[in-house]
Structure 1
Amino acid sequence: METYAAVVLAGGAARRMGGVDKAALPIGGRSMRDRVLAAVGDAAPRVLVGPGDGVPDGVRVTREDPPGGGPVAAMAAGLALLDPDTTLVALLAADLPLLTRAAIGDLLTHLAAAETPALAAPADSPASPAPADSPGSAVPADSPGWVAPADSPASAVPADSPASAAPADSRSGPRAGAVLAPEPVDGVCFVDADGRRQSLCGVWRVDALRTALAGLAADRGGSLAGASVRALTARLVVREVPWAGDGPPPWFDCDTDEDVRRAEEWVR
């Protein structure tokens, strides 16, 4: 698994639950906050943004500015505590008691796959060359459509030859086996069955996040207090990942007492 850091956001007001310290509520005998921190136990460093009472050893603690300034301000505070060479970070709400290390691994895999170059014209694609035993493949060597094998002397076309490159307006497309540049992706996050993006259950590229935060702060007169997560992610290229693993959805967050009861049932 690729090296990554984790920032856990635990400073929410929990207004729908009477203002309790929601992240400290136990699920299956363990606080939601500690469950999330355990799911990213292999991250380095782990940063908690919020109250730090009883935090496990080795976890860095900070607060957003101002305290209660919202998740985007908390993200900025958490990123400020990362090591300078950190390239990937899991951004997680602290009220995800069903999050697992396997789910984090799934996100990391999807982000890595998004940066893997693709090959053009797979073998079963209509654009792929005809099989060697296909009648259409028997092109005479002196035919204009003949292409010399890569190890053939005839394949060494001078760089200034008209045949050395396809015309700019060529419609032939990429040749079979050509490497296509990957689409740049700034992060991945889970999406629920209703298509709602779970942005605080995702993995992101640190440089892209910092650039987006700086741009958003500039547009807001220098402050991120009260900024929405949606406004931040609108500045990023995001790939959504449906959960296909076993067990309950790792993005399930506890915003109400009923949510807490459901999570308790799942962990039994």
Structure 2
Amino acid sequence: MGTYAAVVLAGGAARRMGGVDKPARPVGGRPMRDRVLAAVTDAASRVLVGPVDVVPPGVRVTREDPPGGGPVAAMAAGLALLDPGTTVVALLAADLPLLTRAAVGELLLHLDSDSATAPPAPTAGTVVSSAVVSSAVVSSAVVSSAVVSSAVGAGPGESGGGRRPDGACFVDADGRRQSLCGVWRVAALRAGLDRLAAERGGSLAGAPVRALLAGLVVREVPWSGDGPPPWFDCDTDEDVRRAEEWAR
């Protein structure tokens, strides 16, 4: 896979933690957002979207409009800072303390892999999937995983062997898509943002991620590598305690 950028979303309200600055909470002695940024140090550019004063060198900071406007508004703010030639971006929540460079690398390889295994074109509103076992060499380690390609809300002719995936993201053990632990084609995201803004009268505040990704071809990747799941996010104090145990 070629050069990519990374946008890390750190503007959530953390209501289940009493409104604390969740991404600043340490896991393994480092703030969660710094651990996420460390997983994408090989990115051509890194953007953090959220209220933060100190970031690692080279990281650009911006805020969503309005502040607290949700992940889709934050995505739009982050994408606006990318270099014009950027074609692929990793979209990552800032509360993924177990994310690794190898995991991001696996997603990039799946995004760039042959889409000939994608399912036939579905009818509108359907989800079609197929599992394809593949191996990828990531950071000199061989990682095997099942790749699931799906088109959500796609119309006839929008999926299938002739269309490459617009994004690749991990899914958890129950098959739930972890959209903010994925890599995406910038053009597809920008088209989705323009469409969603038009549908919502120009505002992206409060827009759901599912609505943004509707119609995109997404390659869903179950994690089967060594170590804890990279998609594990910390929404509660108990989640942080679990992440601490894994990070030891």
Q: Tell me if 1:227 matches 2:207.
A: yes
Question: Cα offset for 1:241?
Answer: 0.5
C-alpha distance in structure 2 between counterparts of 1:18 and 1:188, whole Å: 32
Structure 1 contact 114–183 (Cα < 8 Å) conserved: no
Question: Cα offset for 1:51?
Answer: 1.7
Question: Cα offset for 1:52?
Answer: 2.6
**Aligned ranges 1:91-106 → 2 under 5 Å:** 91-106=91-106
**Aligned ranges 1:152-167 → 2 under 5 Å:** none
Q: Which residue of 1 aligns with 2:180?
A: 200
TM-score by length of 2: 0.81
**Aligned ranges 1:1-268 → 2 under 5 Å:** 1-115=1-115, 182-268=162-248
C-alpha distance in structure 1 between counterparts of 2:204 and 2:114, whole Å: 29
C-alpha distance in structure 2 between counterparts of 1:254 and 1:208, whole Å: 28
Greater strand content: 2
C-alpha distance in structure 1 between counterparts of 2:211 and 2:173, whole Å: 22
Deviation digits for residues 83-118 of structure 1, max 9, x if unmatched? 000000000000000000000000001011044799
C-alpha distance in structure 2 between counterparts of 1:247 and 1:2, whole Å: 26
Unaligned runs of 5+ in 1: 119-179
Deviation digits for residues 166-196 of structure 1, max 9, x if unmatched? xxxxxxxxxxxxxx95433110100000010
Relative to structure 1, is the Cα distance of residues 262 and 117 closer, same or farther in structure 2, using a 3 angstrom cutoff? Answer: closer
Q: Percent identity?
A: 81
Segments ≥4 residues shifted beyond 3 Å:
114-118
Give the 3-state SS of the residue equivalent to 2:113 in structure 1.
helix
Cα-Cα RMSD: 1.5
Relative to structure 1, is the Cα distance of residues 203 and 114 closer, same or farther in structure 2, using a 3 angstrom cutoff? Answer: farther
Unaligned runs of 5+ in 2: 119-159
C-alpha distance in structure 2 between counterparts of 1:44 and 1:116, whole Å: 29
C-alpha distance in structure 2 between counterparts of 1:117 and 1:237, whole Å: 12
TM-score by length of 1: 0.75
C-alpha distance in structure 2 between counterparts of 1:226 and 1:201, whole Å: 20
- Higher gyration radius (CA): 1
